[in-house]
């Protein structure tokens, strides 16, 4: 059976670089850092006191106050992003067959802030004071459910959870659901809201976070020799994915084609990537094979590029292993986490949106804060300045704790 094609027809962003899609893209190209000192709680005494928070999101513009109170912040972001994505796509779910429209939006961690708040209530006031909304607020699948309620989307609905590869897997599963005919339209992406005491403390204890507290805007520096960890980001991104003919029939804008998915596991360590990048390389190769394309057809790789010493080294090796040394040197490789911070379970969706926009506009956003080359990271990372160049196809890598690797392949229309 021939597989159906999938178009990217809508984008919705709630990010540290802005909430409006145009603003988000402008800042991505300009090399704007969304990082700063943590505002959401007093981080005095924490080894990491910086994050890339969402500061321009007006939740009241998207969700009535009563509803807001029964949702975690991660759901606020997800609903906001989904609403904007639907609007951007011009799709009116009510005028189509909503039984064939679904939602795969996950969260790497879910409602951590809710868990934290309710645990304090449990300790201070006892078990009978815990909110009846605690469980529905914190579970990682609730955003997908809420988005479906909001838009009355009655098709496939779930939340894929794979840490920092959550959104990429969600988008990949949406691709498959449309390709094989389970759905015609899928809202896919991820959301995360973990800038809270437990979130920062937990990742800091792993030594995963940058501690460049005196210079937050320089802290996320993927592939730079002096990188010292990631900067936690927050927010959500949702893509509207649509069966090709469905999109064309209604005259929809098409940003790009989602043409391939590769998924693997390192099967190596809970949190460390395998040293030689073998697992991530196979994910990239699988994505190429899935799309029926050769390595030399790819112009841009939006890397996972977290700014941790281990990831960026292993991912560089993985890209060389997947593309071959010669092709790897011709690639433009970028980590937009240098600007957005690391949105964990939302990262793959933010970066998929960037891929779609890069293909449409022929511009590759920069890897900012790249100052000192690292001998272990010796490819073209599009340092500090965006590059205007037509792009035929690009890959988006997401690598999650647990060894989950997902690579998505987008092509220009």
Mind giving me the DSSP string for 193-204? ---SHHHHHHHH
Q: Which residue in 259, 204, 190 sits closest to 47, CA to CA? A: 204
Q: Which stretch binds another protein (CB under 8 A): 99-107, 122-130, 157-165, 246-254?
A: 122-130
Of residues 48-77, those binding another protein (CB under 8 A):
64-66, 69-70
Smallest separation (angstroms) from another protein to the CB of 148: 17
Based on the residue annotation, tell me whether 249 is a catalytic residue of this protein.
no
Reduced to 3 states, what is the DSSP secondary structure of residue 254? coil
Based on the residue annotation, tell me whether 404 is a catalytic residue of this protein.
no
Based on the residue annotation, tell me whether 151 is a catalytic residue of this protein.
no
- From 131, 211, 253, 385, residue interacting with another protein (rule: CB under 8 A): 131
List strand residue ranges (DSSP E) for 153-244, in order.
157-158, 185-192, 235-243
Reduced to 3 states, what is the DSSP secondary structure of residue 193? coil
CA angle 217, 381, 302 (to 5 degrees): 85
Nearer to another protein, 41 or 133 (CB): 133
How far apart CA 178 and CA 187 sit, in angstroms, is 11
136 forms part of the interface with another protein (CB under 8 A)? yes
Q: Which residue in 347, 72, 327, 299 sits closest to 190, CA to CA? A: 347
Q: How many angstroms from the chain centroid is the CA of residue 361?
A: 20
Q: Which residue in 139, 175, 137 sits closest to 156, CA to CA? A: 175
The site map against another protein for 243-282 (x = CB under 8 A) is ----------------------------------------
122 forms part of the interface with another protein (CB under 8 A)? no
Reduced to 3 states, what is the DSSP secondary structure of residue 406? strand
The sign of the dihedral angle between the CA atoms of 7, 320, 230, 382 is negative
145 forms part of the interface with another protein (CB under 8 A)? no
129 forms part of the interface with another protein (CB under 8 A)? yes
Nearer to another protein, 128 or 372 (CB): 128
Catalytic one of 151, 169, 246, 342: 342
Smallest separation (angstroms) from another protein to the CB of 13: 28
Angle between helices 166-179 and 347-361 (to 10 degrees): 60
Say if strands 256-265 and 6-14 run parallel, antiparallel, or are unpaired.
antiparallel
How far apart CA 223 and CA 227 sit, in angstroms, is 7
Nearer to another protein, 70 or 176 (CB): 70
Q: Which stretch binds another protein (CB under 8 A): 127-135, 160-168, 253-261, 310-318?
A: 127-135
Q: Which stretch binds another protein (CB under 8 A): 125-133, 244-252, 346-354, 392-400?
A: 125-133
How far apart CA 256 and CA 358 sit, in angstroms, is 9
Nearer to another protein, 125 or 389 (CB): 125
Smallest separation (angstroms) from another protein to the CB of 63: 11
Catalytic one of 48, 164, 196, 274: 164
128 forms part of the interface with another protein (CB under 8 A)? yes
Say if strands 393-400 and 404-411 run parallel, antiparallel, or are unpaired.
antiparallel
Number of residues engaging another protein in binding (CB under 8 A): 12
Catalytic residues: 164, 304, 342
Interface residues toward another protein, by CB under 8 A: 64-66, 69-70, 125, 128-129, 131-133, 136
């Amino acid at each position: 059976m021939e597989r159906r094609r999938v178009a990217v027809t809508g984008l919705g962003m709630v990010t540290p670089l802005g909430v409006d899609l145009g603003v988000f893209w402008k800042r991505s190209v300009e090399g704007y850092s969304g990082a700063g000192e943590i505002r959401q709680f007093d981080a005095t005494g924490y080894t990491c006191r910086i994050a890339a928070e969402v500061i321009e999101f007006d939740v009241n513009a998207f969700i009535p106050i009563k509803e807001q109170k029964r949702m975690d912040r991660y759901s606020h972001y997800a609903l906001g992003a989904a609403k904007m994505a639907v609007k951007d796509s011009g799709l009116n779910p009510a005028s189509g067959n909503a039984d064939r429209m679904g939602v795969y939006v996950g969260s790497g961690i879910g409602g951590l802030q809710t868990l934290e708040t309710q645990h304090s209530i449990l300790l201070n006031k006892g078990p009978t004071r815990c909110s009846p909304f605690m469980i529905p607020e914190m579970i990682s699948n609730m955003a997908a459910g809420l988005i479906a309620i909001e838009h009355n989307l009655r098709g496939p609905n779930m939340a894929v959870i794979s840490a920092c590869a959550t959104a990429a897997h969600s988008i990949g599963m949406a691709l498959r659901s449309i390709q094989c005919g389970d759905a015609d339209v899928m809202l896919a992406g991820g959301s995360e809201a973990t800038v809270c005491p437990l979130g920062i403390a937990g990742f800091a204890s792993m030594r995963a976070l940058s501690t460049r507290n005196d210079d937050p805007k320089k802290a996320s520096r993927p592939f730079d020799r002096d990188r010292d960890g990631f900067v936690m980001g927050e927010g959500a991104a949702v893509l509207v994915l649509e069966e090709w003919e469905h999109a064309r029939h209604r005259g929809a804008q098409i940003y790009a084609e989602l043409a391939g998915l590769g998924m693997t596991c390192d099967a190596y360590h809970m949190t460390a990537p395998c040293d030689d990048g073998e697992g991530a390389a196979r994910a990239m190769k699988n994505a190429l094979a899935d799309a029926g394309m050769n390595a030399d057809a790819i112009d841009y790789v939006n890397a996972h590029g977290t700014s941790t010493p281990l990831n960026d080294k292993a991912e560089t090796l993985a890209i060389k292993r997947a593309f071959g040394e010669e092709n790897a040197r011709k690639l433009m490789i970028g980590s937009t986490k240098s600007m957005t911070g690391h949105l964990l379970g939302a990262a793959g969706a933010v970066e998929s949106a960037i891929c779609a926009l890069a293909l449409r506009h022929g511009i590759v956003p920069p890897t900012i804060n790249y100052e000192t080359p690292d001998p272990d990271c010796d490819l073209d990372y599009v340092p500090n300045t965006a590059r205007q160049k037509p792009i035929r196809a690009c890959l988006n890598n997401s690598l999650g704790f647990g060894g989950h690797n997902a690579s998505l392949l987008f092509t220009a229309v």
